[in-house]
Amino acid sequence: MEQAYILIIIFNGKVEYIITMNFFKNIRLNIKSAIFLLLFLVLVFLISGYFEYRSRQREVLDLMNTMTGNIISTVKKSAVNSILSYDYIDSRNSEYMKSLLVYLDNLESNGQIKRYLVDNLIEYSNLEQVSIFDGDARQIYASNKENWISDEQLASFMQSGDSLRSIINDGDLSMLLKRSEGGAIIGLFDRESLRRFQNNLGIGKFINDVSADSSVIYIAIQDLEGIIAGSKRLDSLTAIDYDPFLKRAYLEKQFDYRVKNYKNQKIYESVMPFDILQTYYGIIRIGLSYEPLQNVKNAAMRNVFIRLIILTVVGFIVISYAMSRNTIESLQQEKERITREVYELQKSLREKEKQNAIHQLAAGIAHEIGNPLNALSLNVQRLHRNLSSDHEDDRKLLTLIKNEVKRIDRIIKQFLNFSKPIPLEMEQVELNKLINEVSEVYDAILKEKEISLFWNPNSQMKVEADREKLYQALINILQNAIEALPNGGEITIDLREKQENIEIEISDNGPGIAAEDQSKIFNLFYTTKDDGTGIGLSQVYKIIQNHGGDINFHSELGAGTTFVIQLPKK
């Protein structure tokens, strides 16, 4: 029973990967493919980690945007309440200050104004100083010698139709009231109580309370002139005119955010338009700690790093497995190659031994048969000459015997030639020219039998060989190809240059050679033709072997036969 090994990888408490060794067994990876697959998976993990980081970052940004939106909404509500409170207190305070001035005017017009009364008012109210001027703008009473109203301001008020006017000089509030007897009565009032109220109950107090949260770096309301209100920890901020981001947010009146450096630390800053009761005051800027976003980034990087470690371990296992499998397969292929080469070498040696034995046998047979055959031939010729015309049948028999003796003699001569060593006269042979000569010999026969000859001339290809012997070998192979196509067909000659050899390939699309005959075609005397001698291909084999080359073939019934001659480069 086949064993299955399972590798389970758990990440963040979840089963992330389940890999069985059967999966590895069913795949075929070379080292390059395994490394490419590993790099591809690393890329996929990096991309997925990046998108995971972006997704979490977007979630945190949305949360921070919601948070800043809530803060700004609350600040706006607080500002509205503060403004309404300011208006109410200002109104009540103005009425109170006016009543004090009217009271002083009544006392003065009745001649009852006394300094101690004015001093009591100054001590028990927010009135600080009093001055009274007649219709000619001459001072007729002053609680203090210091004059805090300029002549221009006084003249402007007396010439106007206003009965009451408030003037603020350097933060001090002055109120001017027209005298019932002409002129003006002026009071300088203390604004400290109103400032304390604004600081304790106003928008500034609320901003500082919100800024007490450690995640809030600062809150500021800002216009083109500068900061209207801000948190205590806020020292300075970039002016709107000098910051394109702020300027765009101010002009477009839209929410926006960015990540920036503030006091040597990275912060998240959001900007929104700030308007109250349909009055546009400017923008409100909220700086929040970047730590939540940094934590998301660190978590995402940590996850990617852990996954890469897991992937590296798995990749190492896969690559090691692939290397071992490839090594085993390479060794197996090398074993098969060596076995095949040994088999081919043994086959070649057997063929050579067989050819040598046949050569020796052919030489012995030719020698032993030659002399008796010559005597037989001479006697048959003599008998043929001595027979009269009356013995026609005998003459025909002797003629038949004479022809067969000549045939035997021709075969014996071929044996003798085959058994002799072939002396080679080596020279540079242009294969293109040699094949042209061979094809020209059979040009008429090819046309007669409707056989098409195709080949790729290569005028640059040469080989060191015996031209006549190589010509004889090509003639024999081409003759066999023509004889295999009695009803027409195609013959292809192809020249190829390999690293160490030059190949001549001759193919036909004839009936092919039966499998049981393929191991015998180079044997001497073996032939499938009725009138063949079985010497031609044996002679071709011997010629190619003597050139230090090799000849092979492959054939399939119904698909034709291909001979490949390999000649060494020299």
Asked if residue 432 and residue 353 are part of one domain, the reply reads no
Q: In the listed set 420, 444, 475, which residue is the last one of a domain according to the structure?
A: 420
Asked if residue 544 and residue 446 are part of one domain, the reply reads yes
Asked if residue 459 and residue 395 are part of one domain, the reply reads no
CA distances from 363 to 146, 357, 538 (A): 155, 10, 15
Q: Measured between alpha carbons, how far is 487 from 510 in angstroms, rounded to an integer?
A: 9
Q: Is 508 exposed, middle or buried (0-12, 13-18, 19+ CB in 10 A)?
A: buried
Asked if residue 431 and residue 413 are part of one domain, the reply reads no
Residue 429 falls inside a structural domain: yes
Using alpha carbons, select from 51, 44, 41, 14 the residue that is nearest to residue 311: 41
Asked if residue 450 and residue 409 are part of one domain, the reply reads no
Residue 433 maps to which CATH number? 3.30.565.10
Q: In the listed set 420, 455, 482, which residue is the last one of a domain according to the structure?
A: 420
Summarised one tens digit per residue, pLDDT across range 265-323 is 888 888 888 887 777 878 888 888 888 777 877 777 787 778 778 877 877 777 777 77
Residue 150 neighbours by CB distance under 10 Å? 11
Residue 110 falls inside a structural domain: no
Asked if residue 473 and residue 407 are part of one domain, the reply reads no
| DSSP, res 252 | H
Asked if residue 547 and residue 515 are part of one domain, the reply reads yes
Per-residue pLDDT in tens (0 to 9) along the chain, 570 residues: 444 444 444 444 444 444 444 544 555 556 677 677 777 777 877 787 778 777 777 787 787 788 777 877 777 777 777 767 766 777 777 788 888 888 888 888 887 777 787 888 877 777 888 888 888 888 888 888 777 788 888 888 888 888 888 888 776 788 889 988 888 988 887 766 656 655 555 566 667 766 666 678 888 888 888 887 777 777 778 888 889 999 898 888 888 888 888 888 888 888 888 887 777 878 888 888 888 777 877 777 787 778 778 877 877 777 777 778 778 888 888 888 888 888 878 877 776 776 667 667 766 776 677 667 777 777 777 776 777 666 677 777 777 777 777 767 766 666 666 656 667 788 888 888 888 888 888 888 888 888 888 887 766 788 888 888 888 888 888 888 888 888 888 889 888 888 788 888 989 888 888 887 767 777 666 566 655 556 677 778 888 888 888 888 888 888 888 999 888 876
Residue 347 falls inside a structural domain: yes
Residue 536 falls inside a structural domain: yes
Q: Measured between alpha carbons, how far is 532 from 529 in angstroms, rounded to an integer?
A: 5
Residue 386 falls inside a structural domain: yes
Asked if residue 434 and residue 564 are part of one domain, the reply reads yes
Read off the tokens for 133: 């001027």
> β-pairing, 227-230 with 216-222?
antiparallel
Q: Measured between alpha carbons, how far is 176 from 154 in angstroms, rounded to an integer?
A: 8
Q: Whole-model pTM?
A: 0.38
Give the residue numbers spanning the domain of 363.
326-420
Asked if residue 440 and residue 562 are part of one domain, the reply reads yes
Q: Measured between alpha carbons, how far is 538 from 112 in angstroms, rounded to an integer?
A: 158
Residue 119 falls inside a structural domain: no
Residue 436 falls inside a structural domain: yes
Residue 563 falls inside a structural domain: yes
Read off the tokens for 236: 């300075």
3-state secondary structure 14-77: EEEEEEEHHHHHCCCCCHHHHHHHHHHHHHHHHHHHHHHHHHHHHHHHHHHHHHHHHHHHHHHH
Summarised one tens digit per residue, pLDDT across range 489-530 is 888 988 888 878 888 898 988 888 888 776 777 766 656 665
Asked if residue 451 and residue 398 are part of one domain, the reply reads no
Residue 241 neighbours by CB distance under 10 Å? 10
Please count the structural domains in the chain.
Answer: 2
Asked if residue 470 and residue 416 are part of one domain, the reply reads no
Q: Measured between alpha carbons, how far is 98 from 164 in angstroms, rounded to an integer?
A: 8
Q: In the listed set 420, 454, 480, which residue is the last one of a domain according to the structure?
A: 420
Residue 412 maps to which CATH number? 1.10.287
Asked if residue 397 and residue 488 are part of one domain, the reply reads no
